[in-house]
Amino acid sequence: MAAAATKNIQLALALPTRLRTFLARYPPASILPAGANAETTKTAYQEEAPNPFMPMKHPVTGRWHDPKYSLRRQAELVKMARDHGVEELLPFTNKGTETRLRKRVELGLRVKGTGVGQRVKGHKHERQLAVKMDKRRNAMLEMPNLIREWKKVGKRDWTKFPK
């Protein structure tokens, strides 16, 4: 028992200071000393925010408060924890490996607008290209008739000029 505890302490000391501080402030139930009740032995930090990675609704005012740790700092902690193999000790975060992988599977290397039911907006001239070409094609199909008519009327009497 004592040997296992010393080993754990040694392992904990090998962690980077930031990670150690974090785990001291927000210890998960799995590393509490045996027999301690997770409900009653909360640190002051945990009392304030059970999951410091999530936004929280203030119990009194009902206002939403930002997470205690920004997304950037969450990602840094996750990376650090992953490198030391202790990621499961962190509370749930969207920056966690599991969520990240799930998102990657869900979305792939998605280019905006190419998903199901979406479309690429494109430049204005690209959006109007089809209409423009249609207009041109129809005008060209009408061209022999127009020229015939123009020749028949004669350019002296022609009155239909474009705007």
Partner 1 sequence: MAKKAKSRIINVRLLSMAMTGYFYTFTRARTALPMSMIKYDPIIRRRVLFLEQKRKGK
Q: Contacts with partner 1: how many residues (CB under 8 A)?
A: 16
Among 35, 59, 117, 162, which residue sits at the site for partner 1 (rule: CB under 8 A)? Answer: 162
Binding of partner 1 by 124 (CB under 8 A)? no
Binding of partner 1 by 125 (CB under 8 A)? no
Binding of partner 1 by 131 (CB under 8 A)? no
Whole-number minimum distance, CB 156 to partner 1, in Å?
Answer: 6
Binding of partner 1 by 35 (CB under 8 A)? no
Identify which range of 35-43, 64-72, 93-101, 148-156 contacts partner 1 by CB under 8 A.
148-156
Phi and psi torsions of 64, nearest 5°: -80, 135
- Residue ranges that bind partner 1, judged by CB under 8 A: 135-136, 138-140, 143, 146-147, 150, 155-156, 158, 160-163
